Amino acid sequence: MTGDIPYYRAIHEAFVAEINSRFAGSEKIEIILQRPFPNPISWSNAARKLIAFDVDLIVTYGLPAAEAVIHEKSRIPLVYAGLFEPENAAIKAKNATGCGFKVPLSSILRYFKRLKTVNTLGILFCSLEEDSVRQFETMQDLAAQQNIKTEKIDIRSRADLDKLKAMESDVVFISGSSLVHLFLDDIIKLLEQQRIPVATIFPDDTEAGVLVTLSQPPISQGHLAAEMAWQILLGTKPADINAYTFRDTELVFNKVEARRLEIDFPIQLLIEATRVIE
C-alpha cells in the first residue's frame, strides 16, 4: 500500500475476498500486508522486505508503491492497482501488469462552478507522488483555460498543513495523493473554518466532509487485480495480461457539509448524483 488510506484498504479487501474465493478448496494463500507511511524511504523498505521474503507475487496499491517495487528490479511478478491513468504512469516492467482508473478532472471543476463563483482554485497535492503531480498539472491547465487562478499547496509532511490557514481559494481540489488523504480529516477542519468547499477523486468513505466526490469504485479494481494475480500464480506471464483502466465513476454530494458551508445544491445538480449524503 502506498499509504494506509480507506481507498487502498477498500481495493485490498476486495482483492483478498476475490483471491480467496478463487483458491477456495485448494492451496491456502498467505498474504503479507505492508502499510508504509507515504514517503520514499518507507515505500522502498516495504518493497525490499517483500522481496526478501521471496514471495510468489507482489501486489501494490497506488503508484509510488508500484514504482518502489519496480525500482528494486526483482524478478517477482507485480500486479498493481489504484493507479491514476496508468497509461500515463512510468510503469514499464516486463513482469508487471495491473489496473488503474481515470476520473475526468474537468468534471470536478464543472461541479464547483455550478455551486459557486470560482476565481481561484486551490490544489492540494504531494510532489513525492508522481500521479498526484500529474493531477495538479492537469487541473492547473484546465483552470487556466477558463481564466481561473490556481493556488498550489504541496503537502510533503504534516507541517505543511499550516499553509492551509492562509489559503485564499474559493474552492479546493484534493488530488489522489495518499499522504494528503492521510491528513484528510485535519485538512477538512482547517478549510471548513474558512468555508472553503473541497472536492476529490478518492471516495470519502469516512464522510470526513468532502463536498463533491467523483471517484472510481475501488471494488472493481480489487477484483480485477485478484483475477490477474490468480492467472499469474497459475503460470501466466504478467506481460501476457493486458493492463486495464477503469473509467466508470460515481458522483457523491455531501449535503451535510453543504449546510456547514452554507452552500445550496440546486435540484438540477442533486439529481446528477449517484449518492447524496444527508
Residues in contact with other proteins by the rule CB under 8 A:
102-104, 106-107, 110, 142, 145-146, 207, 214, 216, 247-251, 267-268, 270-278
DSSP 8-state secondary structure symbol assigned to residue 5:
-
Cα 47-134-198 angle, rounded to 5 deg: 100
By beta-carbon proximity to other proteins, the closer residue of 167 and 269 is: 269
CB of 129 vs other proteins, minimal distance in Å: 22
CB of 6 vs other proteins, minimal distance in Å: 15
Helix, strand, coil % in the chain, rounded to nearest 5: 45, 20, 35
Phi, psi for 274 (deg, rounded to 5): -75, -35
By beta-carbon proximity to other proteins, the closer residue of 42 and 221 is: 221
Q: How far apart are CA 69 and CA 261, in angstroms?
A: 42
CB of 197 vs other proteins, minimal distance in Å: 18
By beta-carbon proximity to other proteins, the closer residue of 47 and 143 is: 143
For the CA atoms of 126, 81, 249, 231, what is the dihedral angle to 10 degrees? 170
CB of 162 vs other proteins, minimal distance in Å: 31
By beta-carbon proximity to other proteins, the closer residue of 17 and 251 is: 251
Return the SS3 of 59.
Answer: strand
By beta-carbon proximity to other proteins, the closer residue of 239 and 270 is: 270
| 150: β partners | 121
By beta-carbon proximity to other proteins, the closer residue of 42 and 138 is: 138
Would you give the distance in Å from CA 14 to the centre of its chain?
Answer: 16
Q: How far apart are CA 156 and CA 41, in angstroms?
A: 13
CB of 101 vs other proteins, minimal distance in Å: 9
CB of 13 vs other proteins, minimal distance in Å: 20
